[in-house]
Chain A
């Protein structure tokens, strides 16, 4: 009986937590399906209206910005390119960095690793001017390359891969060597397949990281052509329902990715061996 009470109590707390998080999102979604005059007169709505298609379609295709050069659809495309680029590039670089740190006979490899790791303490914002000036000199302002590359070295992912490689038994490498595998083959035939779930987890993590970038794209793009969704949230003008619709849509890609790949994410981060 006491067990029933304590378990109901903890469920109640969880339910309240969920409500606190979900209700505002739901209100925005419900409101975004009404007409703007309805919202302006009656405030936020709890129930669905019938302007869903009309509002969302208009937002997707509306030519925004000062020069009317960008649509929401294009912003999604830009964000997608940027997030995917960051995810792939940072996973590839950290896989290779971890491989070199663990398997090559590098003097002071541990020290080097900690230097890489310390960069976690140095946020992008701190190095944003030098980084910008490098990008400007390389003529990479207003390009996807400039959006992606400066944030594509991840110390966290390097840490994860390094710790994983350290658990791989030495005999595996030795056995592979005797089987005629060179360093590259060992990387491709052994470490990559063995860290598959972790790679997927890091891809998700870095995708969301790339998607959420705000300050860097804001600085490095002057052309509206390269606006991303998160920038768009700030730049957006127009009626309240359209803004709500855009907010709702901006949440979809990361949520979708998590839902589809959460199995790998949990496996990769918490129980990979």
Chain B
């Protein structure tokens, strides 16, 4: 049995909404697991069930070899960082960190030492006497993390903790969270709707949609080998391009081009997925793109345009290529990196 084990966990709210469907998942000790998915997909509910803040309708959750379904949140030995930090507004930073320890009946000197250690680790030692209202967003974020660390819990739970920060700080805190987790080595679950955050933080990633884990794997596995249309569309930025097509006798025909000898026995209506970064310009082209707009990111250019059938399409090219608006580009798919999905079920077929 793994460190955290979810077995057929289901959550049905009293009003009948099914938020999580028979989900099974194992998290190993010390692993950084990320739940990613669009808002309302059930990822936070799943996390809150681990924390004990939501009842489990069906299924079992085991933590460190112990069934915790009925265990009170205060007894589970889990720590959570909330989206809005949920710092205690009437206590200074020191007491925010110390509160959980005090409740566990730890003696004063040990508390002081632990709080000071955590504060040093997070570089908040200078603010220990301040109230949360006197701190900046990033500092509050650190205090919230400090409150989790100081208790040395079995598992850290992060519920979209970076979404209240500005873009620059978010990237910085993202790095710090990852570093900190590696340093402290605590098993962590991180919930986010931001796929970049998910990719960069995760040891393993669970892509969740409509209360179901669509795919579970390392970030690269999921990026390289998405198992469904949803995962393919959700992971990767800019989004994967999708074209309608049809397969007959191992030949895929899409609007304006054909791909022969594809590696699939599937026949019928499909969606062809091509990542913007898996395209290159070449003579014997498959795809003709009329450029509408170029976003220059410095290192890369994102070229947006339309195909013959007026479908929107995106192509990512190196930043040193100059592409004018209105140009016609001939593009080819690099190394046959394309993905075919059954149009009716959304399952990958190649």
Report whether A174 and B80 are in contact in the complex, using a CB–CB cutoff of 8 Å: yes
Say if the beta carbon of A189 comes within 8 Å of chain B: yes
**Shortest Cβ distance from A193 into B: residue:** B90
Q: Scoring B residues 256 to 289 as 1 if CB is less than 8 Å from chain A, else 0, what string do you get?
A: 0000000000000000000000000000000000
Interface centre among B51, B84, B99, B104 (most CB of A within 10 A): B99
Q: Scoring A residues 161 to 181 as 1 if CB is less than 8 Å from chain B, else 0, what string do you get?
A: 000000001011011111111
Report whether A178 and B79 are in contact in the complex, using a CB–CB cutoff of 8 Å: yes
Say if the beta carbon of B147 comes within 8 Å of chain A: yes
B264 CB to closest chain A CB (Å) equals 48
CA distance A182 to B82 in the complex (A): 19
Indicate whether A181 sits within 8 Å of B74 (C-beta atoms), given known contacts A175-B80, A189-B99.
yes
A271 CB to closest chain B CB (Å) equals 15
A33 CB to closest chain B CB (Å) equals 48
**Shortest Cβ distance from A168 into B: residue:** B89
CA distance A169 to B100 in the complex (A): 19
Say if the beta carbon of B53 comes within 8 Å of chain A: yes
A30 CB to closest chain B CB (Å) equals 48
Report whether B103 and A178 are in contact in the complex, using a CB–CB cutoff of 8 Å: no
Question: B82 contacts which of A171, A189, A190 (Cβ < 8 Å)?
Answer: A171
Q: Scoring B residues 142 to 153 as 1 if CB is less than 8 Å from chain A, else 0, what string do you get?
A: 000001000100
Indicate whether A169 sits within 8 Å of B84 (C-beta atoms), given known contacts A180-B103, A180-B104.
yes
CA distance A176 to B96 in the complex (A): 10
**Shortest Cβ distance from A182 into B: residue:** B74
**Shortest Cβ distance from A195 into B: residue:** B90
Q: Scoring B residues 78 to 105 as 1 if CB is less than 8 Å from chain A, else 0, what string do you get?
A: 1110111010111000000001100110
**Total interface residues in chain A, CB < 8 Å:** 17
Question: B74 contacts which of A177, A193, A194 (Cβ < 8 Å)?
Answer: A177
Q: Scoring B residues 113 to 152 as 1 if CB is less than 8 Å from chain A, else 0, what string do you get?
A: 0000000000000000000000000000000000100010
Question: B84 contacts which of A171, A177, A182, A185 (Cβ < 8 Å)?
Answer: A171
Indicate whether A194 sits within 8 Å of B80 (C-beta atoms), given known contacts A179-B103, A180-B104, A181-B103.
no
Report whether B82 and A194 are in contact in the complex, using a CB–CB cutoff of 8 Å: no
Report whether B103 and A194 are in contact in the complex, using a CB–CB cutoff of 8 Å: no
Question: B147 contacts which of A169, A179, A182 (Cβ < 8 Å)?
Answer: A179
* Complex contacts, A180 vs chain B, CB 8 Å: 74, 100, 103-104
A123 CB to closest chain B CB (Å) equals 37
Q: Scoring B residues 50 to 81 as 1 if CB is less than 8 Å from chain A, else 0, what string do you get?
A: 01110000000000000000001110101110
Indicate whether A175 sits within 8 Å of B90 (C-beta atoms), given known contacts A180-B100, A180-B103, A182-B74.
no
Question: B80 contacts which of A178, A185, A189, A190 (Cβ < 8 Å)?
Answer: A178
B163 CB to closest chain A CB (Å) equals 14
* Complex contacts, B89 vs chain A, CB 8 Å: 194
* Complex contacts, A193 vs chain B, CB 8 Å: 90
Question: B78 contacts which of A178, A182, A190, A194 (Cβ < 8 Å)?
Answer: A178
Report whether A175 and B86 are in contact in the complex, using a CB–CB cutoff of 8 Å: yes
Report whether B104 and A178 are in contact in the complex, using a CB–CB cutoff of 8 Å: no
* Complex contacts, B72 vs chain A, CB 8 Å: 177
Known contacts A171-B84, A179-B74, A179-B151; 17 further A-B pairs (Cβ under 8 A): A169-B84, A169-B86, A171-B86, A172-B88, A174-B53, A175-B82, A175-B88, A175-B147, A176-B99, A178-B51, A178-B73, A178-B80, A180-B103, A180-B104, A185-B103, A190-B88, A194-B89
Residue ranges of B at the interface with A (Cβ–Cβ < 8 Å) = 51-53, 72-74, 76, 78-80, 82-84, 86, 88-90, 99-100, 103-104, 147, 151
Residue ranges of A at the interface with B (Cβ–Cβ < 8 Å) = 169, 171-172, 174-182, 185, 189-190, 193-194
